[in-house]
Chain A
């Protein structure tokens, strides 16, 4: 290979690497440099979908979604904790035991879904994506400065289905997961991470599914930078000081 050709190959590999990274993560500048990166996050229930696609019908397995969703959340908790974040898990028991928390979670989740339906990666830096006040109230309620949302999807196809799907343009096998981190103080989307796992056609056991879940949890968190309290900029002022300051300003 000539030097020029080798250069092109290297440049291609570098470009591919950069493109892959760009596709797998997007963060605000503040999140990247640590000034707005949270130190503690509330991990909301994952939106998990486990689907076994058959030749004649696609069966969404609700019980599998609940079970493996739980596994995914546990792995996310471990991964984020290992990176130095204080993680508050918002699990089913906790939500259903506390009507106020349930209200905040449901409202925040809907705000998040709405936000993501409008999300375009190129606009992340404009700080235009917000979950609304409910997200800030939820963070306040749980004493965290960030909210972590995640989705996980695993689609398993029977061996024949993959070929069939090729003919009819149907769904094929695959697994992917997202992790989004929202600033608890502002309600703004700060970071988006994406991970995929290859799924081979054919029946899968629960152990196989657990492996996919582990891979997805690892791939959607491995680019998350560690919690860094030293970089965070927080100016603490008491509520009373702020209120008195406003009263003084109005008297002038």
Chain B
């Protein structure tokens, strides 16, 4: 086996040598003619767009797409090969990820955009992915490792029950070999230096990617399976840009376009039961928009979504904690809540989380007394606190304030159940 590994490394070194040398001497990558037996990789890369489209996963938000395309096209080089056509897509997926395919298609997840703070971090991300395309990393990697096809690379993370959350994880900002990822980081720093963007956004981006709020490392097939590696990459890139001048970051236009995705991503994480991540992202949003009722209400939703989990610092989690977290993650929300409420610690955490949620909803209503969604949030908190009359009152305020709300039938259903309870109490 050691011989095979050595052979593999030699293979990789040989395959890497040509494009790396060309890039090192000119700053540009050379052409890389495609072999006949590799054409299926390009065909599959093209087909993936149809696949994502068929599942409704391509985000159609014109403003978001315009932002990503504008930044991407401003950074990309001229293609060296006719099989490369740069195109940028946004995938409706909350996981913090992006990936590049050898045909020039670059996909960024909504959950990635939601975590970025400014256009410069987006530029850093796209510069990294563009290097994978320009450097033909898909083909280099394929020649070196004879890895499975692109589809396997991109969809490989999806099991039979696999969710969209796993899409692209194997062909992600973490998916290539360590050498190719490092090359993409190095090239991204150089691309940023030669652009109007701040090169210091690159280590900031890698720091963002290294955060594992829910402490599920490393079993869940997410970026966090390479967590230590991403930290090392952040440090390497920090050293790389240390002597470069800082530039003012572009925040305003970016914030305006991306804030909707942040709300969507927080809701996604609540629904998908990654409550610590939802809470961290919601707090980050509130720090930026403390006077926005919708953002503050989202913080309430995130606290309510915590159930009976206590807030944890991911850096303090032991291996055994993470193992337990992974085990708990296989339970339904109700099962998990019931198990946690069986302990004193769980009951305390539950009461505290609901109290935080209540405070946030009250704050949202203080900012905007007509903000209907906060009434619904309060009603749900009161329901969980077994305060049926208060819950019914808040639901009534909600349905009166938002008569055309899309969830009206659900809320009316809850109101119906609460009415039965109230009638039973008074009889």
Q: Which residues of A approach B to under 8 Å, CB–CB?
A: 45, 47, 49, 56-63, 65-66, 69, 92, 95-96, 99, 101-102, 105-107, 109-111, 113-118, 128-130, 132-134, 136-137, 140-141, 151, 153, 185, 237, 239, 242-243, 245-247, 249-250, 252
Query: Which 7 residue pairs spanning A and B have beta carbons closest together?
Result: A113-B163, A60-B151, A62-B47, A95-B56, A249-B422, A63-B47, A116-B161
Q: How distant is A83 from chain B, measured CB to nearest CB, in Å?
A: 25
Query: Cβ of A242 and Cβ of B92 under 8 Å apart?
Result: no
Query: Cβ of A60 and Cβ of B149 under 8 Å apart?
Result: yes
Query: Cβ of A59 and Cβ of B151 under 8 Å apart?
Result: yes
A-side contacts of B330, CB under 8 Å: 117-118
A-B contacts, 7 of them at CB < 8 A, read: A60-B156, A62-B151, A63-B50, A66-B51, A113-B163, A246-B395, A249-B423
Q: How distant is A209 from chain B, measured CB to nearest CB, in Å?
A: 16
Assembly CA distance A63 to B47 (angstroms): 6
Main secondary structure of the interface of B (DSSP, over half): helix
A136-B409, A246-B415, A250-B393 given; 4 more Cβ-contact pairs under 8 Å:
A61-B151, A105-B56, A243-B415, A246-B396
Assembly CA distance A1 to B343 (angstroms): 61
Assembly CA distance A237 to B40 (angstroms): 57
Residues 407-421 of B, flagged 1 when their CB comes within 8 A of A and 0 if not, give: 111101101101100
A128-B422 contact given A66-B51, A110-B163, CB 8 Å threshold: no
B-side contacts of A99, CB under 8 Å: 60-61
Cβ of B125 under 8 Å from chain A: no
Q: How distant is A219 from chain B, measured CB to nearest CB, in Å?
A: 17
Assembly CA distance A22 to B44 (angstroms): 38
Cross-chain contact of A59 among B50, B92, B149, B407 (Cβ < 8 A): B149
B-side contacts of A57, CB under 8 Å: 146-149, 152
Query: Cβ of B409 and Cβ of A45 under 8 Å apart?
Result: no
Q: Which residues of B approach A to under 8 Å, CB–CB?
A: 40, 43-44, 47-48, 50-51, 53-58, 60-61, 92, 146-149, 151-152, 155-156, 160-165, 268, 271-273, 330-332, 334-335, 389, 392-393, 395-396, 399-400, 406-410, 412-413, 415-416, 418-419, 422-423, 426
A-side contacts of B415, CB under 8 Å: 242-243, 246
Query: Cβ of A249 and Cβ of B92 under 8 Å apart?
Result: no
Query: Cβ of A242 and Cβ of B419 under 8 Å apart?
Result: yes
Q: How distant is A245 from chain B, measured CB to nearest CB, in Å?
A: 5
Query: Cβ of A246 and Cβ of B163 under 8 Å apart?
Result: no
Assembly CA distance A47 to B155 (angstroms): 12
Cross-chain contact of A92 among B53, B271, B409 (Cβ < 8 A): B53
Query: Cβ of A59 and Cβ of B57 under 8 Å apart?
Result: no
A96-B60 contact given A57-B146, A249-B423, CB 8 Å threshold: yes
